[in-house]
A = this chain, B = another copy of it.
Amino acid sequence: MIKVVAKFIVQEDKIQVFKDRVVDLIEKTRQEEGNIFYELYQDANNPQILTFIEEWESQEALKEHMGTDHFQETVPELEDLLIEEMDEVEINIYKLFK
């Protein structure tokens, strides 16, 4: 089991656009076999921070997810909504310690 925290910092006037663009991604990802959960959170103190917290059965399941059409079509489109480049987005892949 692995957990992913992917923290996007969105331009102030693009928050709703970001939310709208990921709805389909979220719904389709949740139907993927290896997905345990896939949730989008908003920082309570800074609405520009939108973070996916995800749980996957395995690294392979996550890799498959990143190859799906809904991922490939949606994620690149998010870049122009961010205050940073896509490769600067803070993504951590975690293993449970305790």
* A97 touching B3, Cβ below 8 Å: no
* A49 touching B92, Cβ below 8 Å: yes
Q: Which of A37-45, A63-71, A77-85 contacts B (4 or more CB under 8 A)?
A: A37-45
Query: In the complex, A44 Cα to B5 Cα: how many Å?
Result: 12
Contact A92 to B40, CB < 8 A, known contacts A5-B5, A5-B51, A98-B26: no
Q: Is the interface of A mostly helix, strand, loop or mixed?
A: strand
New A-B contacts (11) at CB < 8 Å, excluding given A23-B98, A40-B96: A5-B53, A19-B98, A39-B96, A39-B98, A41-B95, A42-B95, A43-B93, A44-B95, A45-B93, A53-B53, A53-B94
Q: List 6 A-B contacts (CB under 8 A).
A: A3-B53, A19-B97, A39-B96, A40-B96, A44-B94, A50-B97
